[in-house]
Amino acid sequence: MKRKMILILTGVLAFGVLSACGTPNEDAHSSGGTNQNQENSAAPSTGHGEHGGHGASEQPADNYKPSFSFASGTAKANEKSKLDIQIADSKGNVVNDYELSHEKLLHLIVVNHDLSYFNHIHPEFDGNGNFSIDTSFPGGGDYKLFVDFVPKGGSSTTLSEWVKVEGEEKAHEAINADEKLVKVVDGKEVELTLSSTKAQDEVTLTFNIADVQTNKGISNLEQYLGAVGHVVVLSDDAEKYLHVHPLDEKATGPKAEFMTSFPKSGTYKIWGQFQHQGKVFTVPFVVDIK
């Protein structure tokens, strides 16, 4: 009996992808590598729903199922496409009631096959179970779409699906760990330190943000979707997905600390998202976890 209980607990601990969240407007913010495009402004804070500092488990696939469709039937590279999203429950009924999570009803994260492209956007809800947004893709090929939401009375849920975009596909770039965890984005130097690089350890991710010109730490970061920042993490195969929140949501820099745990060894890409002087900036890092 004792052995059976251990096996059951092991199965539970091994399950799932970890939960995600929030970003600006295209309601959008996208990046290819370290190049960033800002079209964003601050949103009023209404809290974080049920997300915790360590993220939450993805719901079993038989509980909810996403449906992604393009109004024209397919998406083409470098062209605006209307994307419709519906979520169905285990009985096949379209879900129509949602709770705010990170100030939005639904968060959509888009990455391409080698994680060189990242877009975090917020589709609009029409009240009839349908979310829609006009978006574009920088090239042809495979893209993975993640939706993050909280059904009314339920818990934070993350679902994902690969879609194909028509057009010339860019060469696949190897996802290699950064030799130095320092990046310059939008006039800011961001250094990332990890308290551990071992799988399943509790890890503190510390972002130190400074002004490139003055070399002084930036201590007036603004609230971004109710916190000093948000961090999204994906394994290099896009199968393990983490979204974590700061240890101190009200921090204003120059340091922003996040706690998480990497579920297994491998290479992971990390996107840190912060807001300063009304603009959201995204900084990517790649790390190896042993």
Q: Which of 125, 147, 142 is nearest to 19 (CA)?
A: 147
- At residue 30, the pLDDT reads 59
Q: Which of 90, 99, 123 is nearest to 23 (CA)?
A: 123
Cβ atoms of 229 and 271 within 8 Å: the answer is: no
Distance, in Å, from the CA atom of 181 to the CA atom of 185, rounded to the nearest integer, reads 13
- At residue 245, the pLDDT reads 79
- At residue 62, the pLDDT reads 56
Helical H segments across the chain, by residue range: 2-14
User: Averaged in consecutive runs of 10 residues, what is the pLDDT profile of the chain (290 residues)?
Assistant: 38 36 43 41 30 41 86 95 96 95 91 96 94 97 96 92 96 95 98 98 98 97 91 95 89 97 97 96 97
- At residue 32, the pLDDT reads 60
Q: How many CB atoms lie within 10 A of CB 169?
A: 15
Structure pTM? 0.80
Tokens 């199922």 locate to 65
Query: Torsions phi, psi of 190, nearest 5?
Result: -120, 125
- At residue 76, the pLDDT reads 97
- At residue 101, the pLDDT reads 86
What are the structural domains of the chain? Answer: 17-166 (2.60.40.1930), 182-289 (2.60.40.10)
Rg (C-alpha) for the chain, rounded Å, is 19
Cβ atoms of 248 and 259 within 8 Å: the answer is: no
